[in-house]
Amino acid sequence: MFSLFLLSLFPYLILLLIDLTNCTNVTFVPRPIRVTVADLPRPYATSSASKGARVFPVPSNPRLYVPDGFTVKLYMSELTTPRYLIYTPTDDILVSESSANRISCLVDKNQDGYPDQRLTFADASNGLNYPFGMAFFNGHFYVGNRDAVRRYSWTKGSRRIRGTGQIIMTYPQNGHSTRTIAISPTLNRIFVSIGSASNVNVEPLPRASIQQADINGHNRKTFAYGLRNVVGLAFHPITNDLYATCQERDKLGDDLVPDFFSRIKQNDFYGWPFAYMSSKLTDLRRCLSNGTSERPDLVSLTRTPDVLFQAHSAVLDMRFYTGKQFPSRYRNGAFAAFHGSWNRNSGTGYKVIFIPFNSKTNRPMGYYEDFVRGFLTNPSGPDTFGRPVGLLVLKDGSLLFSEDGNNRLYQVQYKKK
């Protein structure tokens, strides 16, 4: 009986966690962080570290840093590897919990802006296999699993998927396992990111590419390639151009190779594994004994990304800001989540960043800024109590992000002065 009583209190216990487990907010002035091809060191300028994140419990009074006017606080805890976040068409929030083979549905029953019920939307019985990216389109729910994209019929208002759906796309499941889905707002086509299985091995397509297909999975082809591990994938809200965040290769030193953010066009090649950031920078590990590249034809096609990030930041999800709560400079710019390094002597990442766009050209301005930081408490560890993953602009214009170190969701809000 007592256990049933506790279960009946579960939604309210969540609310108590939200109310009682907040953060000390410290403000800072964001500064442009600009990394250019000219800044990049030679390969092996430093040793190549192997220092995985040491995740510690959340401190009793955690300090998180945000720009002036913003606040960040706990939104929900007690999840299992929360990753990707989306709204359903009826405004419930879905969270993919990859390692649990589950997608949870967060329901705000009393419409106060916070979830007071958590339901299982889908799980392994529905065919989930390490689910990550999700999307809704024309009465269907799409989920990117490690091995396949599945499509399910969805009834408006439903908070539970039935059956195992239809497999509309398959691909190798080993290696990088995050499969992000983006559906074109104008073309009725689905775009899916498929990462590599290695650091710099030569791998056949669809590895290290963005695949596109009709909304039912037919007529599949490669949209762009030479992209080691795209995770963030989204269409710009004004131009409808496709943008991506990409994790680059390791083991060339602390400051090689930068992760990046870029507009992606049909047939673009971004270098992996033969070159990086430019047609002038070949990867020595993919060169012949005479020093020339194994694939000079592909090297010559290598595009330079729009915005370079600190190497080994491990950029994951990316979302454009379409809300109205934040100051106007944020509108139609992009937020991205840095999961944090393992291949750097001094840890980096473990934060949320902002990528400003020019409001006249609707193009990125070439740099980024810190937005939420403080999870990384000791770079030499690296010691952290949070590893940001997924992002979602909430209906009130605030920003929600997931982190899978201590399995929490945080909310960033802005209050006008």
Q: Look at residue 280 and tell me if it is in a domain.
A: no
Q: Alpha-carbon distance 126 to 412, whole Å? A: 33
Q: Is residue 22 very low, low, confident or very high in pLDDT (cuts 50, 70, 90)?
A: confident
Beta strands in 248-368 (DSSP E): 260-264, 307-308, 315-320, 334-338, 351-355
Share of the chain above pLDDT 70, in %: 95
Closest by Cα among 176, 126, 125, 172 to 148 = 172
Residue 282 lies in a domain: no
pLDDT digits (tens, 9 = 90+) for 113-128: 999 999 999 999 999 9
Would 38 be classed as within a structural domain? Answer: yes
Q: How many domains would you assign to the chain?
A: 1
Helix/strand/coil for 245: strand
Do residues 410 and 72 touch, judged by C-beta distance below 8 A? yes
Q: Domain range spanning residue 151?
A: 2-270+305-414
C-beta separation of 85 from 106 below 8 A: no
Instruction: Give tens-digit pLDDT for 53-105.
Output: 999 999 998 999 999 999 999 999 999 999 999 999 999 999 999 999 999 99
Res 10: pLDDT: 38
Indicate whether 15 pLDDT > 60: no
Does residue 158 register a pLDDT over 50?
Answer: yes
29 falls within a domain: yes
Q: How far is CA 31 from CA 95, 355, 373, in A?
A: 32, 12, 13
* Full-model pTM: 0.94
Q: Please answer whether residues 153 and 139 qualify as being in contact, where contact means their C-beta atoms are separated by less than 8 angstroms.
A: yes
Answer yes or no: is 110 within a domain: yes
CA–CA dist 114, 15 (Å, integer): 8
Q: State the pLDDT at residue 359.
A: 96
Q: How confident is the model at residue 3 (pLDDT cuts 50, 70, 90)?
A: very low
Which of 413, 408, 415 lies closest to 85, judged by CA?
408
Give the chain's mean pLDDT: 94
Q: Give a yes or no: residue 247 inside a domain.
A: yes
Contact predicate 279/269, CB 8 Å: no
Tokens in use for 390? 């997924």
Task: Specify the residue for token string 């510690």.
Answer: 56
Q: Which helix (H) or strand (E) holds 4?
A: helix 2-20
Instruction: Report the CATH number that the domain containing residue 249 is assigned in CATH.
Output: 2.120.10.30
Q: Domain for residue 294, yes or no?
A: no
What 8-state DSSP symbol labels residue 364?
B
In this prediction, residue 417 carries a pLDDT of: 66
pLDDT at 270 over 80: yes
